[in-house]
Structure 1
Amino acid sequence: MHINPAAARRTADIVLGVGFAAAGCVAGAQYPAERWLPFDGWAYVLTVATALTLTVRRDLPVAVLLASCLGYAGYLALGHPPSLNFWVPVISLVSLAAQRPPRVARPAALLTAAVVLYSGVQGGVSLLLAAVQAVCVPAVALFLGTNQRTLAQRNADLARLTVRLARAQEEEAGRAVVDERIRIARELHDVLAQQMAVITVQSGLARYVYSSDPPTAQAALDAVAGAGRDALDELRRLLGVLRVGPDGESDAPPLRPLPGIDRIPELAERIEAAGVRVQTHTEGVVRPLGAGLELCAYRVVQESLTNVVKHAGATRAEVRIRYLGDRLLITIRDDGRGHGGGQGSAQGKGQGKGHGGESAATDTGSGLGLLGLRERVKIWNGVLSTGARPGGGFEVRLSLPLPSASRR
């Protein structure tokens, strides 16, 4: 059952006011009356009226304090005995200090102190004791109310901070979604660009030699089929990330691990099927790196060789991998005709002409591949440089810092 906090506080205030009214009347009627007037009708009226002001102490704290002090002072002025009415102005001061700033609470405390002093004098206690009461009781009430106000302010600040943190988390989650979409788009580009380049070149070659050289056409179609299977395999792995079951786990079937440096020779074989001879060289001590670092290196080589097939008009390419003490250096070179446009802009047109003057491979470079590579390399604090070679062709150089755990 849900309880409204405001209604609960209102009920508590009503119970407090009625309780003090009833207790004050009972105490006043039972109080010895040697030196005070009997507890008559006016005493009952002033006691009840003073106590009932507590029912609205949260709504009108200043008015309640003034009314309670005036009511109790009038009760004492008529000569009635001091009773539980003494505590009503004190409780009113606590409520006021909890809701108003010190510039309002301090004058209210002085007024309460004057009423407490008057109560002590009327009650027949010594002037010293009356003065001590007039100082200590309002001071304690002011202290309690001020602490309540400070705590309420801190709770309000904490609530606002919680709201801001929740909004910040939502914004961060939104940014994470955007970043993930960008990552997936980049992965899709990496997966499709290389395979589709091979498929485009080989299908164009198969069409070109379909009648004149059936064995070559058959080999080209086999390469198309292999590239298509590889593309589907990687697409299943990537899209499996987006397939999440009710329990929050991916329900995609397990597939082979992310590609790494050890699969570059396999990549080179597929590129050779597209008509570009690729040589790979490895120097230094080969050692396993992190999956993310391996994937970054693989994607750079993949995009570079894809551009060789799509744009460079090259016949040969070379991939050189060097394991140094603290860095991994990878160089991709080709003998194409491009001068600075091979990584994302056209270096040359098709590999040959088919029947009717149609190109066996077309230039579809958009420049997005290089931008994606630079962002990927930046994540690993690496350096990617590209440019035309002085003797012709194009070169891509990748330098990645190796983690300390992998150094020897």
Structure 2
Amino acid sequence: MQGGRVRARLDPLVIDVVLACVLAVLTIVYGLQGYEAVYRHKGWPPFGLLAIGLSLAVNLPLAVRGRAPWVAFVVSHGAFVAYTAAGFQPSANLWAPLLLCYTVIRNGPVRRAAWAAAATAATWTASGLAAPVSVELAVGQSVIGVGVVWSWAISNSRLAERNIQLAELTAQLRREQELRARHAITEERLRIARELHDVVAHHLSALAVQAGLADFVFASDPAAARKAVVSIGASSREALEEMRGLLGVLRAGPDTDDPDPLYRSSPGLERLDDLAERTRAAGLDVMLTVTGPRRALPSGVDLCAYRIVQEALTNAVKHAGRGARVSVGLSFEADRLTGEISDRGGSAPAGVPSNGLGLVGMRERVRLYGGTLRAGPGPEGGFEVVFTLPLAPLDTTRGG
């Protein structure tokens, strides 16, 4: 059979109907054969049509116990009381009322369950007293029988409640997993979009300025124009390299061994000198200083610091313009990395657009790693960006 083993699920109503019919048939067969032949005492009437009718009334209500348990309970117990009062053999119809008592206790409220248990105990006791047994035995078997049914019904009711709660919890967990998956996809898209913005904005801004410079000095200073064209080629190749890395991330399957290929495909502070050199080719005077014991950083923090410096230099190219002096300072401390990028003077180039998303991206990156960022006019003019990124403390107890 295709699709594995198929589990047939029967309608509970069908099961109850079959149970009622089987129990009714067994009771009538017992009454007609065993009761008359073996168990009938003197004074008990024969098992005739009245006994058969009352037995059917006792057992057949089991067929609707799932849909109308209290109605079935009342009808069955009423017929059982009439059967006992008519003087027929008492033990013939004991089990249907007990099973209906279980159904009411399991599905009904506590007050109704208590009434059902008391009524069943009373009818069972009356049936026992109608038989040639002692009062103690009649009461004892009633208490034991109803007690076992009560315990079984309450246990099954609690199990059913736990199963419902477990199903609800499973559904809730499934919904939360779907939300987390959607959130992860959204975060990944935002990270890739941020990377695309930083790569495209920086390189295109540099290309625009360098192309403008080459055009401006094409006739008067061919050497400077040639240098600008060479810088344009280098910037274009680096942009293509980073774009290929991002496209590689998008093509990577979900089973990749790299837990974070986006960071692996992106540059870090080891390429800061190249970044400064490209900015100098755009006409800015860049001074780069690094203080403190330089050390390897986590991939995400390394990329974050590089992108902040890159975006700050891109803003300087756009707004400070040619001839501006830009200082980039990085300080490696025991538990943090501090960076400061500031520009002075220069003339802003024309025709370089800005959408204001760069500062937003820098703040999002810094917030992602628990750092701080301040960007705005400097105390002596120009513009400055100051950021800090927390690092794992250095282990100073080990010798180098």
Do the two structures share a fold, i.e. TM-score over 0.5?
yes
Alpha-carbon RMSD across the aligned residues, in angstroms, is 2.5
Tell me the residue number matched to 1:391: 380
1:401 pairs with 2:390:
yes
1:30 pairs with 2:34:
yes
Tell me the residue number matched to 1:344: none
Q: 2:337 aligns with which of 328, 334, 339?
A: 328
Tell me the residue number matched to 2:21: 18
Q: CA deviation at 1:213?
A: 3.4
Q: Secondary structure at the match of 1:384?
A: strand
Q: Which runs of 5+ in 1 are unaligned?
A: 338-347, 351-358
Q: CA deviation at 1:376?
A: 0.7
Q: Secondary structure at the match of 1:285?
A: coil
Tell me the residue number matched to 1:280: 288
Q: CA deviation at 1:121?
A: 0.6
Tell me the residue number matched to 1:356: none
Q: Distance in 2 between matches of 1:191 and 1:210?
A: 28
Q: How does 1:57-72 map to 2 (within 5 A)?
A: 57-72=65-80
Amino acid at match of 2:363: R
1:94-152 CA-to-partner distances (Å, cap 9, x unmatched) read 11111111121111111111110111111121112212223232232222222222222
Q: 2:194 aligns with which of 186, 189, 206?
A: 186
1:106 pairs with 2:114:
yes
Q: Secondary structure at the match of 1:386?
A: strand
Tell me the residue number matched to 1:349: 348
Tell me the residue number matched to 1:372: 361
Gap change, CA 1:204 and 1:180, over 3 Å in 2: same
Tell me the residue number matched to 2:371: 382
Q: CA deviation at 1:271?
A: 0.8
Q: Distance in 2 between matches of 1:74 and 1:95?
A: 22
Q: Distance in 2 between matches of 1:291 and 1:302?
A: 16
The answer to whether the Cα contact below 8 Å between 2:205 and 2:352 also exists between their aligned partners in 1 is no
Tell me the residue number matched to 2:208: 200
Q: Secondary structure at the match of 1:404?
A: coil
- TM-score relative to the length of structure 2: 0.88
Q: Distance in 2 between matches of 1:404 and 1:12?
A: 69
Amino acid at match of 1:285: P
Q: Secondary structure at the match of 2:219?
A: coil
1:265-315 CA-to-partner distances (Å, cap 9, x unmatched) read 111111111111222112111111110111111111101111111111352
The answer to whether the Cα contact below 8 Å between 1:23 and 1:84 also exists between their aligned partners in 2 is no
Which structure has the higher relative contact order (CA within 8 Å, separation 6+)?
A: 1
Q: Secondary structure at the match of 1:241?
A: helix
Amino acid at match of 1:33: R
The answer to whether the Cα contact below 8 Å between 2:334 and 2:394 also exists between their aligned partners in 1 is no
Amino acid at match of 1:349: A
1:123 pairs with 2:131:
yes
Q: How does 1:203-242 map to 2 (within 5 A)?
A: 203-242=211-250
1:85 pairs with 2:84:
no
Q: Secondary structure at the match of 2:90?
A: coil
Q: Distance in 1 between matches of 2:241 and 2:256?
A: 20
Q: Distance in 1 between matches of 2:112 and 2:59?
A: 22
Q: Distance in 2 between matches of 1:256 and 1:224?
A: 25
1:309-346 CA-to-partner distances (Å, cap 9, x unmatched) read 11113522121221111111112122136xxxxxxxxx
Q: How does 1:149-160 map to 2 (within 5 A)?
A: 149-160=157-168
Q: Distance in 2 between matches of 1:111 and 1:283?
A: 90
Q: CA deviation at 1:248?
A: 5.0
Q: CA deviation at 1:349?
A: 2.9
Q: Which runs of 5+ in 2 are unaligned?
A: none
Q: CA deviation at 1:24?
A: 1.4
Q: Secondary structure at the match of 1:145?
A: helix
1:197-233 CA-to-partner distances (Å, cap 9, x unmatched) read 1100111122223334333323222211221121121
The answer to whether the Cα contact below 8 Å between 1:325 and 1:407 also exists between their aligned partners in 2 is no
Q: Distance in 1 between matches of 2:24 and 2:379?
A: 102
The answer to whether the Cα contact below 8 Å between 1:383 and 1:400 also exists between their aligned partners in 2 is yes
1:298 pairs with 2:297:
no
Q: CA deviation at 1:238?
A: 1.6
The answer to whether the Cα contact below 8 Å between 1:98 and 1:149 also exists between their aligned partners in 2 is yes
The answer to whether the Cα contact below 8 Å between 1:24 and 1:83 also exists between their aligned partners in 2 is no
Q: 2:275 aligns with which of 267, 278, 292?
A: 267
- TM-score relative to the length of structure 1: 0.87
> Percent of counterpart pairs with the same letter?
40
1:289 pairs with 2:307:
no
- Point out the more displaced range, 160-169 or 52-61: 160-169
Q: How does 1:352-363 map to 2 (within 5 A)?
A: 359=350, 362-363=351-352
